[in-house]
């Protein structure tokens, strides 16, 4: 490698974002991996990932419409406090028709009283993954994989606001222009137009 002028690219640091060791109620897995939704505004899925910055870890919470794969709500904060997921959910609720079902992992933020109360006020049924089963929330994990491959792996943000700006730009690209095989190679925005006809 040295003779060829090549250097190895190491793995980025990893941060656990799910704390499911809590006393809050846990919902049944009502989604049951039924990801083949073809109509937007029916089912949402949510999760959190960590973003490395020069100031330490930042945390990104997203709400994804499973029908169009569009990120309908998101927020970045410097901690995993419940305000992170509440902020992302408020954006989604304010900008979109409310779905019938909201799916997440069993993390303390999603099981919290405040989060469950906000979903109940919106008339949305709660669903949660089984213990330690990331496949139960595969579409959001797939989105995070794309985000990390296409943006985070190449980024060196010095501050959390710099990361937030970059993520905002990426989400605009993702929702408006990025083609998805699951959507017949349309962007989420283009798919929603077709699905509305």
CATH number assigned to the domain comprising residue 49: 3.30.420.10
Q: What is the token pair recorded at 181?
A: 């095989």
Whether 78 is in a domain gets the answer yes
Whether 179 is in a domain gets the answer no
- Cα distances from 25 to residues 30, 89, 104, 127, in angstroms, run 15, 19, 13, 11
Whether 155 is in a domain gets the answer no
Whether 152 is in a domain gets the answer no
Q: What does each of the 197 residues of the chain score in pLDDT, given as a tens digit?
A: 566 554 444 445 545 555 555 566 888 998 988 888 899 999 999 999 999 999 999 999 999 999 999 999 999 999 999 999 999 999 999 999 999 999 999 999 999 999 999 999 999 999 998 776 677 899 999 999 999 999 999 899 999 999 999 999 999 999 999 999 989 999 999 999 999 86
Whether 11 is in a domain gets the answer no
Residue 136 has a pLDDT of 86
- Report yes or no: 40 and 1 within 8 Å, Cβ to Cβ: no
How many structural domains compose the chain?
1
Q: Is 98 helix (H, G, I), strand (E, B) or coil?
A: coil
Give the separation between CA 97 and CA 86, rounded to whole angstroms: 17
Whether 14 is in a domain gets the answer no
Buried/exposed code over 50-83 (b: 16+ C-beta within 10 A; e: otherwise): bbbbeeeebbbbbbbbbbbbbbbbbbbbeebebe
Residue 174: DSSP 8-state: H
Give the separation between CA 25 and CA 11, rounded to whole angstroms: 35
Q: What is the pTM of this model?
A: 0.87
Q: What is the token pair recorded at 48?
A: 């959190």
Instruction: Sheet containing 70-77: give its strands across.
Output: 70-77, 56-65, 43-53, 101-104, 125-128
Give the separation between CA 112 and CA 163, rounded to whole angstroms: 27
Residue 36 has a pLDDT of 86
Residue identified by tokens 């029908």 is 67
Whether 103 is in a domain gets the answer yes
Whether 4 is in a domain gets the answer no
Range of the domain at 30: 25-132
Phi-psi region of 23 (alpha: psi -120 to 50; beta: other; left: phi over 0): alpha
- Report yes or no: 128 and 28 within 8 Å, Cβ to Cβ: yes
């Amino acid at each position: 490698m040295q003779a060829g002028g090549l250097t190895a690219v190491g793995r980025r640091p990893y941060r656990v974002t799910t704390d499911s060791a809590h006393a809050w109620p846990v919902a049944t897995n009502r989604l049951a991996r039924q990801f083949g939704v073809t109509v937007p505004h029916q089912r949402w899925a949510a999760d959190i990932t960590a973003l490395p910055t020069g100031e330490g870890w930042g945390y990104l919470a997203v709400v994804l419409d499973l029908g169009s794969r569009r990120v309908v709500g998101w927020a970045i904060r410097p901690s995993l406090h419940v305000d992170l997921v509440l902020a992302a959910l408020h954006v989604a609720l304010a900008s979109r028709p409310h779905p019938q079902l909201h799916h997440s992992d069993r993390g303390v933020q999603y099981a919290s009283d405040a989060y469950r109360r906000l979903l109940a006020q919106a008339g949305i049924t709660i669903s949660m993954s089984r213990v330690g089963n990331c496949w139960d929330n595969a579409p959001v994990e797939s989105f995070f994989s794309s985000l990390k491959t296409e943006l985070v792996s190449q980024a060196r943000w010095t501050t959390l606001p710099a990361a937030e700006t970059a993520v905002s730009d990426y989400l605009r690209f993702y929702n408006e222009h990025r083609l998805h095989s699951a959507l017949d190679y349309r962007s989420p925005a283009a798919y929603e137009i077709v699905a509305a006809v």
